[in-house]
Amino acid sequence: MNAISQDAVASASGSKLEALNAWVAEVAALTRPDTIHWCDGSDAENAALTAKMQADGTLIKLNEQTHPGSWLHRSDPDDVARVEHLTFVCTSERDDAGPNNHWMAPADGHAQMDALFDGCMAGRTMYVVPYCMGPIGSPLSRCGVEITDSPYVVANMRIMTRMGAPALARIEKEGAFVKGLHSTGELDPNRRFIMHFPEELTIKSYGSGYGGNALLGKKCHALRIASHQARSEGWLAEHMLILGLQNPQGDTHYIAAAFPSACGKTNLAMLIPPEGYLNDGWKITTVGDDICWMRPGADGRLYAINPEAGFFGVAPGTSKKSNPNALACLQRDAIFTNVGVTADNQPWWEGLDNGQQPATDWRGEPYDAAKRPAAHPNSRFTVSAKSCPSYSPEAENPAGVPISAIVFGGRRASLVPLVFEARDWTHGVLVGAAMGSETTAAATGAVGVMRRDPMAMKPFCGYNFADYFSHWLSFDNGANKLPKIFHVNWFRKSDAGKFMWPGFGDNLRVLEWMIGRVKGEAGAVETPIGFLPTDADLNLDGIELDDEARAKLFGFEQAGWQAEFASIGEYLGEYGPRMPQALKDEQQRIAAKLAD
């Protein structure tokens, strides 16, 4: 065993906050690194770290002419996505974590993790990364410190959060922070766990370098720990994008939308209006693409901030046609993980459609279409939000932006129409609770299997879903002016198996209808599942939809919905007596209407 050096012990005291120094010293005593580096987030620090990673092969330099300041990282082939079966919520009471989480008693969780961390940083540098989720000056923001032995994690945290000196200053002032301990360990899938201790505001993650498992500010803090905190403090931490929709008159409405991972959040957040709309002066601004923290303001409306500072986006499918704003962000200073490269070292992925060809696949082998795709289906880019042409100045507003509409959505090949509106808040909470979606490559496991993913939070809610739905219902207290709630499905397929809705920029047509509903101007027909537009209530000028598409995108299929509501009833029942009665009543009310 190698003992921790005196130098390391001395450098444990890098802050003015005793509790932070003590924790860093305690972690160093357990993990026994060679050195401790407190990250200040400076350019010089980043340059030194990047040079070190280039030298040891962690980062591969991309073509400096076409992609200045950009890098490729190839992860371990067994470490390419979130691992939900290895992710735990460790609350003292098992029922507080709920059937929606894997659970372990906190003492057992700590024992298991500390055994893995024992001596794991020997010969390595331990980085102490202070970060702030949300604008440094916002009362809605929350801070954390991630300790990691991965410089790749540091480089990504620098883009994804407000990291370094300003965050440390806020932490020293507040005295409170979320503790996150991370080590890539030996990347053995059998020695990999992501554990959360919400009652202690603590995260321990071992054995993975992948974004959602390793960048602890993101899913672990900003969703699992924050959702738990939000419940006791009266706010919401959600898996939602936030966008501003500006109409030709110059009014902006903000919309928050929850779709499961790899179901279209980043694309919707950066949408460029179709030509006719552009000419008329419609515009979308991006506040956030993955996480939304919101709480009622003095006027009773919900105000939202994006706790992140960057985008960790899905690369495949991103093209000049589908998402020009994302492509513009990727011109410089981006980190690409598990994409392919061209012969002249430009990043490449399926659906990039720029006329170039891959030479090397994501595993570093010569590209062979018969063997594997050039880019892993869950390959990602990490890029600063500031580099996005549509980034909203309001994203830096410490007060957040007022939300006019909340949207839930998933990947549903059948049954679910393009869009519908919930009758009221309670119905809207049921619509969110009942969300179903086909699984994607963002998590390990089978792809394309329909599962319940309430509010797109199945992998991210840090407590019992029954309590989470009660918390959502509690916002309808008579004083709040709550947004309208909608449900969308961009992924409805024809009998021939093709997507029927053009999606992407044309999704603006659906957003326009929503704001029309908010203002009481747009038409709809009432059905048992909510208000549906007819194909005449949406502006469909310039797109072609055949009869099958019109029937399925705007239709209500009574028999199918009867079966769906029976399945929703069973799902709510799985949570037993803890499930709020108001939600069960709402399900039964609609099921009864469907039976008429």
Per CB under 5 A, the segment of 11-19, 289-297, 431-439, 578-586 that binds Mn ion is: 289-297
* Closest CB to ligand PGA among residues 265, 376: 265
Instruction: Please pick, from the candidates 33, 185, 307, 313, the single residue that binds ligand GDP as defined by CB under 6 A.
Output: 313
Q: Is 290 in the site for Mn ion (CB under 5 A)?
A: yes
Separation between Cα atoms, residue 320 and residue 341, nearest integer Å: 18
Residues 524-563 that bind ligand GDP (CB under 6 A): none
Q: Is 267 in the site for Mn ion (CB under 5 A)?
A: no
Instruction: Please pick, from the candidates 82, 224, 231, 283, the single residue that binds ligand PGA as defined by CB under 6 A.
Output: 82
Q: Identify the DSSP state of 479.
A: S
Per CB under 6 A, the segment of 40-48, 202-210, 214-222, 308-316 that binds ligand GDP is: 308-316
Q: Identify the DSSP state of 132.
A: E
Q: Is 274 in the site for ligand GDP (CB under 6 A)?
A: no
Q: 3-state SS of the chain: helix, strand, coil percent to 5?
A: 35, 20, 45
Q: Is 266 in the site for ligand GDP (CB under 6 A)?
A: yes
CB 104 within 8 A of CB 195: yes
Separation between Cα atoms, residue 152 and residue 150, nearest integer Å: 5
Q: Is 265 in the site for ligand PGA (CB under 6 A)?
A: yes
Q: Is 262 in the site for ligand PGA (CB under 6 A)?
A: yes
Q: Is 322 in the site for Mn ion (CB under 5 A)?
A: no
* Closest CB to ligand PGA among residues 84, 467: 84
Separation between Cα atoms, residue 301 and residue 481, nearest integer Å: 5
Instruction: Please pick, from the candidates 150, 267, 286, 378, the single residue that binds ligand GDP as defined by CB under 6 A.
Output: 267
**Residue 268, class by beta-carbon neighbours within 10 Å (0-12 exposed, 13-18 middle, 19+ buried)?**
buried
Q: Tokens 């002016």 appear where?
A: 481
* Closest CB to ligand PGA among residues 261, 587: 261
CB 530 within 8 A of CB 586: no
Q: Is 266 in the site for Mn ion (CB under 5 A)?
A: yes
Strand, coil or helix: what is 227? helix
Q: State in angstroms the smallest separation of the CB of 561 from ligand PGA.
A: 27
Nearest to 502 by CA among 511, 486, 490: 490
Q: Identify the DSSP state of 255.
A: E
- Residue 267: which of ligand GDP, ligand PGA, Mn ion, none does it interact with, CB under 5 to 8 A by kind? ligand GDP
- Residue 162: which of ligand GDP, Mn ion, ligand PGA, none does it interact with, CB under 5 to 8 A by kind? none
Instruction: For 182-201, give the DSSP string.
Output: EE-TT--GGG-EEEEEGGGT
Nearest to 407 by CA among 537, 257, 206, 207: 257
Q: Exactly one of 39, 263, 292, 388 is catalytic; which is it?
A: 263
Q: Is 316 in the site for ligand GDP (CB under 6 A)?
A: yes
Q: State in angstroms the smallest separation of the CB of 266 from ligand PGA.
A: 6
Instruction: Please pick, from the candidates 75, 266, 306, 426, the single residue that binds ligand PGA as defined by CB under 6 A.
Output: 266
CB 440 within 8 A of CB 463: no
Residue 79 labeled ligand binder: no
Q: Is 212 in the site for ligand PGA (CB under 6 A)?
A: yes
Separation between Cα atoms, residue 194 and residue 185, nearest integer Å: 12
Q: Identify the DSSP state of 463.
A: S
Tokens coding 524: 């709809």
Per CB under 6 A, the segment of 151-159, 309-317, 428-436, 569-577 that binds ligand GDP is: 309-317
Residue 299 labeled ligand binder: no
Q: Is 490 in the site for ligand GDP (CB under 6 A)?
A: yes
Residue 196 labeled ligand binder: no
Strand, coil or helix: what is 288? strand
Q: Strands of 251-356 (E only): list them.
A: 252-258, 283-288, 292-296, 302-305, 310-314, 335-337, 340-341, 347-348
Residue 266 labeled ligand binder: yes
Per CB under 6 A, the segment of 157-165, 262-270, 299-307, 410-418 that binds ligand PGA is: 262-270
Catalytic site includes residue 388:
no
3-state secondary structure 393-425: HHHHCCCCEEEEEEEEECCCCCCCCCEEECCCH
Per CB under 6 A, the segment of 115-123, 260-268, 337-345, 356-364 that binds ligand GDP is: 260-268
Q: Which residues are annotated as a binding site for Mn(2+)?
A: 219, 239, 290
**Residue ranges of the binding site:** 82, 210-212, 219, 239, 261-267, 290, 378-380, 411, 504-507
Q: Which residues are catalytic?
A: 263
By CB under 6 A, name the binding residues for ligand PGA. Answer: 82, 212, 261-262, 265-266, 290, 312, 314, 442
